[in-house]
Amino acid sequence: MRQPAFEMERWQSHFENTVRCNLSDSGVLPFRFAEFCEFANVDPSDVVFGYGLTEGTADLRSRIAAMYPGATENNILVTTGSAEANFLTVWRLVEPGDRVVIVQPTYGQTPGLAAGMGAHVEPLWLDESHDWQPAPGAAAEIITAGTRLVVVTNPNNPTGVVLSDRARREIIDAAEAAGAWILADEVYAGAEVAGGVTPTLWSGTERVIVSASLSKAYGLPGLRLGWLVAPPDLREDLWARKDYTSIAPAVLSDRLARAALEPETRTRILQRCQRIVRANLDIVEAWAATTSRLTYRSPDAGAICLFRYDSPIPSLELAERVRTEHSVLIVPGAHFGLEGTFRIGFGYEADKLPIGLGSVAKLLGAIQPATA
Ligand SMILES: Cc1ncc(COP(=O)(O)O)c(C=O)c1O
């Protein structure tokens, strides 16, 4: 089976470590190793570099389970990032010819994977004119009988918008009526700009798998530590499939993840994230207010913001010019199927943001607006 390229990850793999200013990352400033050990009061110097427990240690799994109502460590599988959790789920559930509904725009992993596995991928679009929620009734129209899997990223990437109670209910009801599984990618939960934590879809329905990781709100993407939450039987199957992929989480990552998810430490880590997101979003919004060339919807969660610009230039060309002329990396909307837009990530150093944003403004100034 031919596998379509994962365009956004290719774009980042090529350029994110070589540009002067990287506005393509969707997480907050990662911790340094020594800084984290002090912050979390952990000394991992006695870690033995054997293969660890392949499903994740019981301590880590019970700390993860505590975040999901009614879950126990038997519902949890530790994975290499949420990327592996998503991969295992799609690999296990999807057969060629299956109908897979994916709430879009979204991170391109599950649409690309499902298509590569021979599924019929149908988008359920978040609608800009409905505050980036699915239009009322759209879920029931698209999640039809025989749909095998519904994938929803909540909070959403690239918009940073959290599903409304109405939209969440409609998706769950439609999936239940169709007999479909739901994969809820909740990797941006905990990075909320204001208000409480995004409600999890876990326990909202029986046929649900949740994926998440320490990569975004926790500032620990380099640990490559994620997890999935699933009904025990399915979790067993997914664990068996993991024997074919990464086998086990890195023992050092398992140890540091246990420290990160110790309840008091976790609270402080999420407070750090939310402080960064709020302060940096203020900078982004003050910048956006200085131009009439952009429109956007302020994100609910995640250090990401999607902008619509007012020029006919294709988003790939715009992003390529920002990169080659200014050495700044943004993500073109084409990578999300949204022409006329780009995504910026704003969770890194506040003092670098004006450099990157200023470059985007300069480039916009150099191109024609649509009405000119
Ligand atoms: C929605 C979503 N899911 C999954 C991932 C993969 O992240 P990780 O494997 O680091 O958890 C990303 C990364 O950007 C993402 O945006």
H-state helical runs in 40-137:
58-65, 81-93, 109-116
Q: Are residues 114 and 134 in the same domain?
A: yes
Does the beta carbon of 226 sit less than 6 angstroms from any atom of ligand 1? yes
Residue 76: the pLDDT is 98
Q: Are residues 94 and 195 in the same domain?
A: yes
**Backbone phi, psi, residue 27, to 5°:** -100, -175
Kindly report the CATH number assigned to the domain that includes residue 180.
3.40.640.10
The answer to whether position 370 is within a domain reads no
Cα–Cα distance for residue pair 291/289, rounded to 1 Å: 6
Residue 195: the pLDDT is 75
Please state the atom number of ligand 1 nearest to the C-alpha of residue 188: 1
pLDDT band at 368 (very low <50, low <70, confident <90, very high): confident
Distance 160 CA to ligand 1 centre (A): 13
Q: Are residues 277 and 129 in the same domain?
A: no
The answer to whether position 39 is within a domain reads no
The answer to whether position 38 is within a domain reads no
Q: Are residues 27 and 99 in the same domain?
A: no
Cα–Cα distance for residue pair 74/229, rounded to 1 Å: 9
The stretch 289-300 carries a mean pLDDT of 96
The answer to whether position 37 is within a domain reads no
Mean pLDDT rounded to a whole number for the chain:
97
Distance 15 CA to ligand 1 centre (A): 18
Q: How many residues does the chain have?
A: 372
The stretch 312-329 carries a mean pLDDT of 97
Question: Apex CA 315: angle with CA 311 and CA 321, to 5°?
Answer: 95
Q: Are residues 326 and 343 in the same domain?
A: yes
Distance 153 CA to ligand 1 centre (A): 10
Question: Which DSSP letter does residue 181 get?
Answer: E
Residue 372: the pLDDT is 52
The answer to whether position 340 is within a domain reads yes
Residue finishing a domain among 227, 261, 295: 261
Percent of the chain with pLDDT over 70: 99
Cα–Cα distance for residue pair 369/91, rounded to 1 Å: 44
CA-closest residue to ligand 1 atom 5: 83
Distance 187 CA to ligand 1 centre (A): 6
**Backbone phi, psi, residue 190, to 5°:** 100, -15
In the structure, how many helices (H) and strands (E) does the chain have? 12, 14
Q: Are residues 320 and 251 in the same domain?
A: no
Q: Are residues 253 and 274 in the same domain?
A: no
User: What beta strand segments (E) does the chain contain?
Assistant: 21-22, 76-79, 99-104, 120-127, 133-134, 147-153, 181-185, 208-213, 226-229, 294-296, 304-309, 328-329, 331-332, 341-345
Q: What range does the domain containing 73 cover?
A: 46-261
Query: Max Cα separation, the chain?
Result: 65
The answer to whether position 36 is within a domain reads no
Does the beta carbon of 215 sit less than 6 angstroms from any atom of ligand 1? yes
Q: Are residues 120 and 205 in the same domain?
A: yes
Does the beta carbon of 24 sit less than 6 angstroms from any atom of ligand 1? no
Kindly report the CATH number assigned to the domain that includes residue 335.
3.90.1150.10
Q: Are residues 200 and 115 in the same domain?
A: yes
- Distances in whole angstroms, Cα of residue 120 to Cα of each of 86, 153, 156, 162: 17, 19, 22, 26
Residue finishing a domain among 261, 283, 304: 261
> Per the structure, how many domains does the chain have?
2
Q: Are residues 17 and 57 in the same domain?
A: no
Which residues lie below 8 Å from residue 96, measured CB to CB, with a gap of 6+? 1, 117, 118, 119
The stretch 198-227 carries a mean pLDDT of 96
For the segment 49-98, what is each residue's pLDDT rounded down to a tens digit? 999 999 999 999 999 999 999 999 999 999 999 999 999 999 999 999 99
Distance 81 CA to ligand 1 centre (A): 7
Does the beta carbon of 185 sit less than 6 angstroms from any atom of ligand 1? yes
Q: Please choose from 156, 211, 215 the residue to mutate so as to test ligand 1's pocket, defined by most ligand atoms within 8 A of CB.
A: 215
Which residues lie below 8 Å from residue 82, measured CB to CB, with a gap of 6+? 185, 187, 211, 212, 213, 215, 226, 227, 228
The answer to whether position 148 is within a domain reads yes
Distance 224 CA to ligand 1 centre (A): 10
For the segment 220-244, what is each residue's pLDDT rounded down to a tens digit? 999 999 999 999 999 999 999 999 9
For the segment 347-362, what is each residue's pLDDT rounded down to a tens digit? 999 999 999 999 999 9
Residue 13: the pLDDT is 95
pLDDT band at 204 (very low <50, low <70, confident <90, very high): confident
Residue 2: the pLDDT is 87
The stretch 165-173 carries a mean pLDDT of 98
Q: Are residues 305 and 229 in the same domain?
A: no
Strand bridging mode 133-134 / 120-127? antiparallel
DSSP string, 338-371: -TTEEEEE--S-TTTHHHHHHHHHHHHHHS--TT
Residue finishing a domain among 223, 240, 261: 261
Q: Are residues 98 and 247 in the same domain?
A: yes
The answer to whether position 369 is within a domain reads no
